[in-house]
Amino acid sequence: MSKGSVENYSFVSVKQLNPAKLCSPDYLRNNKQFIISISSNYGNFDLDLTHTPCNYGGVRFWLLCSCGKRCTKLYLKRGAYACRQCQQLNYMSQQWNKSDIPLLRVRRLRNRLEWPQDLRAWPIYQKPKNMHWRTFSALVRELEEREQERLQMFIVYLKGMGIW
């Protein structure tokens, strides 16, 4: 079976959603993350959005995939919107599997911390009841490093694919 290619799938983009028209500056100041509901021929969906400051003022909006990645587009496959990598669209190489190791480490650390596996959530400083503070802070530190590693590997991977 051939892999899906992005061109064959329905997608939703930040541009289409135009969140700026839904959110006042005040709302954005108070909500780092918010949900937009969309409905289309394909059904109704709730999409997570976030925003980052722009160099020239204002904000830039992002769609959040369940893997924690900020995206400009999410693709619809099997009844859910997710990023190109999660939907395994385009190239699904051995290389990608390897570069996913940091993600596995992140998941394992979150597991030990009893934090949710939804990487969009960053529940800062929630220490499991029976864990020593020293252990806890070491785990959090490691998790922060792994998150960084994960993002870097991700960028390397994309560069390798000639997208950037």
Binding site for Zn ion (CB under 5 A): 65, 67, 69, 82-83, 86
Residue closer to Zn ion (CB basis): 80 or 138 = 80
How many residues appear in the chain? Answer: 164
The sheet with strand 80-82 has its strands ordered as: 11-13, 73-77, 80-82
Smallest gap from Cβ 135 to Zn ion, in A, equals 30
Smallest gap from Cβ 112 to Zn ion, in A, equals 23
Write down the H helix ranges in the chain: 14-17, 25-30, 94-99, 101-113, 133-160
Smallest gap from Cβ 82 to Zn ion, in A, equals 5
Per the rule left: phi > 0, alpha: psi between -120 and 50, beta: everything else, 80 is beta
Residue closer to Zn ion (CB basis): 28 or 160 = 160
Smallest gap from Cβ 87 to Zn ion, in A, equals 8
Residue closer to Zn ion (CB basis): 34 or 75 = 75
Residue closer to Zn ion (CB basis): 70 or 139 = 70
Assign 77 to helix, strand or coil: strand
